[in-house]
Amino acid sequence: MRTPALLLILAVLPACSAPQTATWPTGWSYGWEGFNHRLSYAGYALTDTEASVAIVGGTSTTGIRPPLDDSCDPDTCKEYRAVDHANVQVDWARVTTRKATFGRATAQLVADAAGDSQTLTVPFDRHARGQVTAWITGFTIDTDHALSGGPACYDPASGWNPTHMAIQLDNAALASDGQSATVDVSAIFEAGKTLEDARQCIDAVNDQALVPISVDVLVVAGNFEVATYPVSDSMSYTYGCTGIPCTEPDPQPDPDLSQRPLVLDPAGAAAGWSAFDFRFHVDDPDDRGAYLRTFQVGFDASAGWASGHATNYSRVTQLSGFDYAFTGQIDAVDLGVDVEYGSVSDRIDVKLDDAGHPVFSTLPL
């Protein structure tokens, strides 16, 4: 039988442990300077000292036209060479505490319209106890993957026009030995059609898209209760043009964030995203996919808002109006310490290495 003294020692062990620091994003966004584009690659990563971001939107952002097989019709597989730059931002939060234990791991998925999932094991470097929650701390979406139906005229590395993109964490659970936790990680990527005569080769295979998605996960363990805050947003923008090219499409103003409230209880709780889900051109009868100009997910606990937002506004290259439906979830825990917040932003070039792979730009915190 354990003595009262031993029980007292065990009870105070977590408080006597060395403090741990964790940094995670509260938001991430990009916006193309010149035009809207397909999505070829989007990547965000975060450490305690820097954020890393990579964005690629196909030939019209890299200026690199992929080779086309002689058997393919160049009039229906057009690529338009151009160079574009992206304005990116990562908002972050950080805590240092003895009252929680942190663990990190990365899930590797290959998503399609039906999704992909795995149960991820996240190790701790010390014994954890209490409850656990899991937050998304980074991800990559990479369209450079073979089609489910085999080779075709279109090269998926040039990007897709998404209709549905989602990442979700579920069922975080602490292992009985306190040395790890498990989290169910899932992702969806569905590609739509361009509805362009010049890009029929995309529309012939968009339903065959397979997209590798990696998800960085932070698990927080401690003696707390987990509060969940669902987020649900939508917007619809008219086109305002009768012909193509459209030199002056209708504006697409940002949402009023006062209409997208977030009130954490308690106000100083630590919070992160456990899910986000975008659907674009939701009710389009022709399965139109999105050319994205901007894409953003974020919240500000002190200002009291949470939002997911996107646009397709683009002079000349915009082909239609735009709408989206966003859902997400923020999970919060009271760690009893102050949460530090910050934000980094930059204008980045599209960078590819010699093998054609995206290169991350680093932003010091």
Using CA atoms of 214, 90, 363, 122 in order, give the dihedral in degrees to the nearest 10: -40
Computed from CA positions of residues 249, 298, 143, 289, in that sequence, does the dihedral angle turn out positive or negative? negative
| Among the listed residues 301, 272, 322, the one whose alpha carbon sits nearest the alpha carbon of residue 167 | 272
Q: Which residue has 């990116």 as its token pair?
A: 88
- Has residue 141 been placed in a domain? yes
pLDDT at res. 244: 84
CA distance 301 to 320: 35
Q: If you compute the radius of gyration of the chain from its CA atoms, what whole number of angstroms results?
A: 22
Count of structural domains, the chain = 1
Question: Sheet holding 85-97: strands in order across?
Answer: 305-311, 294-300, 20-32, 85-97, 340-349
Cβ atoms of 184 and 167 closer than 8 Å: no
- Has residue 18 been placed in a domain? no
CB neighbours of residue 67 within 10 Å: 7
The DSSP code for 172 is: E
CB neighbours of residue 211 within 10 Å: 24
Q: Which residues contact 38 (CB under 8 A, 6 or more apart)?
A: 57, 58, 60, 158, 159, 160, 161, 291, 292
What would the 3-class secondary structure string for 135-157 be?
EEEEEEEECCCCCCCCCCCCCHH
| Among the listed residues 161, 136, 270, the one whose alpha carbon sits nearest the alpha carbon of residue 216 | 136
pLDDT at res. 243: 82
Name the percent of the chain in helix, strand, coil, to the closest 5. Answer: 10, 50, 40
- Has residue 11 been placed in a domain? no
CA–CA distance from 284 to each of 154, 218, 281, 314, 323 (Å)?
Answer: 23, 36, 5, 19, 9
pLDDT at res. 17: 76
pLDDT at res. 232: 98
- Has residue 307 been placed in a domain? yes
- Has residue 4 been placed in a domain? no
The mean pLDDT values, 10 residues at a time, for the chain of 365 residues are 47 64 98 98 98 98 96 97 98 97 98 98 97 98 98 98 98 98 99 98 98 98 98 98 92 98 97 98 98 98 97 97 98 97 98 96 98
Provide the token pair at 285.
């009868």
Q: Which residue has 């090219």 as its token pair?
A: 245
Cβ atoms of 250 and 181 closer than 8 Å: no
Give this prediction's pTM: 0.95
- Has residue 361 been placed in a domain? no
Q: Which domain holds residue 170?
A: 24-355
- Has residue 210 been placed in a domain? yes
- Has residue 209 been placed in a domain? yes
